[in-house]
């Protein structure tokens, strides 16, 4: 008979005892109503100590820029913000005053949001701006605000037990206008551990969102999480670390009045993602710009084929572009979509064009990311590509043409990598007949020199092209000499 080492026996006993205690607590928690569990959460967090007081804290937050970093994979750069926070325990109003800080350039303008869990708004001197709940993402970093919201909800119910972060947790559920949410409570201590739900997304269809609270601290009898995280599809998207904490009288705090209900529902997408009808600018009879407040694109007819430069904002914008192309270039044409840059808003329309049979042209290194976008299943609200995949999977696959050096379309269109240190994996496009350069997202201003524009100038010189006009995703049709003049100030 084989003997089991003593340390393994001891470890097994410890694990069984620990799990047994956790399961016993979970079973006990199931005997309590959802209301009782939330009452217990408020008690252990110290609600009795904050009567007629306001939480005042300072924090640092980091927002991972996964959607616009120089690569589609980690590491991503972060936007760091100084935050001053107030939370009124009586009316559940959360006020956050924040400043994005860039080292060496000083802080950005102050941004103030006020949110009571139902309505949110950006506070401005010229008038407050309503904020959609889907954009008020920072409220759920505050565990007190989440418990307040759940305590005031009428349909909270138990939804079982799940193991999360090594321990069994009691799960509560409730319905919201944006779908079901789940709140994880620790049955042993009573503390909230995680908020969990699925939200729609303009590029990925839907994402699994988790708000996790950890590193709890004690202040004047009140327990607060020292760290909080927003996690999207398993990756940290937003983190917040709280520093100084105090409790003050309400009359000493900043204004904490609940926001007014807006006259009409605010937009669920920021302006740069809203597919407003694009305006058309003619460069020649076969080359046009299509621009709305968010993004400029270019469309061209070259040797009987349509080339769409960029697929921004999403399916609705792509449909609008398709309709305008049909007016500009009547008749059937093969469609090619040139993706010059991989920031998420820049490629949100790719799925629609794939559903229409278009060939996607991009840097060779972009293929894996574009395949990931195309292969993603949209289960929350199926888009055109998902519906086509269900009917005919073979018609919903990426047709990809790679570019890793200068590529010609019968001398009427040249696609070239920019290949600067800040513009790797990005392309630009040149139309020799029009002497027009499409600069992707890499010329954004003519008011001052920029590293991006400098790299475009170098790439143009390296490729032997001399444009007369230029445009980009955030640059209207401009003279090439204006780009050169702006960069001359650099030297």
| 250: Cβ contacts below 8 Å, ≥ 6 apart | 52, 53, 54, 88, 90, 256
The tokens for 392 are 């005919």
8 Å CB contact between 309 and 300: yes
Between 101 and 321, name the one with better pLDDT. 321
Per-residue CA distances from 240 to 83, 208, 230 (Å): 9, 19, 9
Q: Which domains does the chain have, with CATH numbers?
A: 30-252 (2.50.20.10), 271-488 (3.60.15.10)
Distance CA 86, CA 93 (A): 8
Q: What is the pLDDT of residues 317-354, one digit of tens each?
A: 999 999 999 999 999 999 999 999 999 999 999 999 99
Q: Write down the pLDDT at residue 10.
A: 39
8 Å CB contact between 486 and 447: yes
Exposure string of 420-439, with b = 16+ CB inside 10 Å and e = fewer, is: beebebbbbbbbeebebbbb
Q: Is residue 105 over pLDDT 90?
A: no
Distance CA 41, CA 143 (A): 10
Q: What is the pLDDT of residues 107-133, one digit of tens each?
A: 688 999 999 999 999 998 888 899 999
Q: Is residue 414 over pLDDT 60?
A: yes
Q: Where are the beta strands (DSSP E) in 267-358?
A: 279-284, 287-291, 296-302, 305-309, 334-339
184 by DSSP, 3-state: which?
A: strand
Residue 190 DSSP class:
-
Q: Where are the beta strands (DSSP E) in 28-146?
A: 53-64, 78-88, 94-102, 106-107, 111-115, 120-122, 129-131
Averaged over 306-319, what is the pLDDT?
Answer: 98
- pTM of the predicted model as reported, rounded to 2 decimal places: 0.90
Which candidate, 434, 432, 423, 409, places its Cα nearest to that of 359? Answer: 409
CA–CA–CA angle 70, 66, 205 (5° rounding): 125
């Amino acid at each position: 008979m084989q003997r089991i080492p003593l340390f393994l026996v001891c470890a097994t006993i410890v694990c069984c005892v620990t799990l047994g205690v956790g399961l016993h607590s979970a079973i006990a928690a199931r005997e309590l109503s959802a209301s009782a569990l939330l009452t217990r959460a408020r008690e252990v967090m110290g609600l009795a100590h904050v009567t007629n007081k306001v939480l005042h804290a300072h924090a640092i937050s980091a927002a991972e820029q996964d959607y616009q970093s120089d690569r589609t994979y980690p590491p991503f750069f972060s936007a760091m913000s100084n935050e001053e926070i107030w939370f009124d325990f009586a009316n559940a109003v959360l006020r956050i005053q924040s400043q994005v800080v860039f080292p060496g350039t000083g802080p950005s303008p102050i941004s103030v949001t006020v949110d009571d869990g139902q309505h949110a708004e950006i506070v401005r001197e010229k008038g407050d701006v309503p904020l959609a709940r889907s954009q008020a993402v920072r409220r759920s970093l505050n565990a007190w605000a989440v418990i307040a919201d759940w305590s005031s909800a009428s349909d909270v119910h138990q939804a079982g037990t799940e193991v999360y972060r090594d321990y069994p947790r009691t799960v509560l559920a409730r319905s919201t206008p944006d779908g079901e949410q789940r709140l994880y409570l620790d049955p042993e201590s009573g503390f909230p551990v995680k908020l969990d739900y699925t939200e729609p997304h303009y590029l990925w269809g839907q994402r699994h969102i988790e708000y996790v609270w950890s590193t709890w601290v004690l202040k004047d009898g009140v327990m607060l999480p020292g760290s909080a995280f927003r996690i999207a599809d398993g990756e940290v998207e937003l983190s917040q670390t709280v520093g100084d904490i105090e409790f003050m009288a309400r009359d000493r705090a900043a204004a904490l009045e609940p926001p007014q209900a807006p006259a009409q529902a605010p937009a669920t997408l920021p302006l740069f993602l809203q597919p407003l009808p694009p305006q058309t600018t003619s460069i020649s009879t076969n080359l046009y710009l299509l621009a709305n407040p968010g993004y400029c694109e270019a469309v061209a007819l070259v040797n009987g084929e349509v080339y769409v430069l960029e697929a921004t904002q999403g399916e609705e914008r792509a449909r609008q572009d398709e309709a305008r192309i049909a007016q500009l270039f009547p008749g059937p044409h093969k469609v090619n979509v040139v993706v010059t840059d991989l920031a998420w808003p820049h490629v949100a329309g790719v799925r629609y064009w794939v559903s229409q049979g278009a060939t996607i042209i991009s840097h060779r290194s972009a293929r894996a990311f574009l395949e990931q976008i195309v292969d993603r299943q949209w289960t929350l609200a199926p888009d055109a590509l998902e519906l086509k995949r269900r009917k005919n999977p073979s018609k919903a696959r990426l047709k990809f043409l790679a570019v890793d050096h200068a590529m010609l379309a019968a001398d009427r269109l040249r696609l070239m990598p920019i290949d600067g240190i800040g513009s790797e994996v990005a392309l630009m496009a040149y139309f020799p007949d029009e002497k027009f350069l499409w600069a992707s997202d890499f010329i954004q201003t003519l008011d001052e020199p920029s590293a991006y524009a400098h790299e475009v100038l170098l790439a143009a010189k390296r490729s032997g092209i001399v444009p007369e006009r230029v445009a980009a995703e955030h640059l209207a049709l401009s003279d090439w000499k204006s780009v050169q003049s702006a960069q001359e100030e650099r030297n």
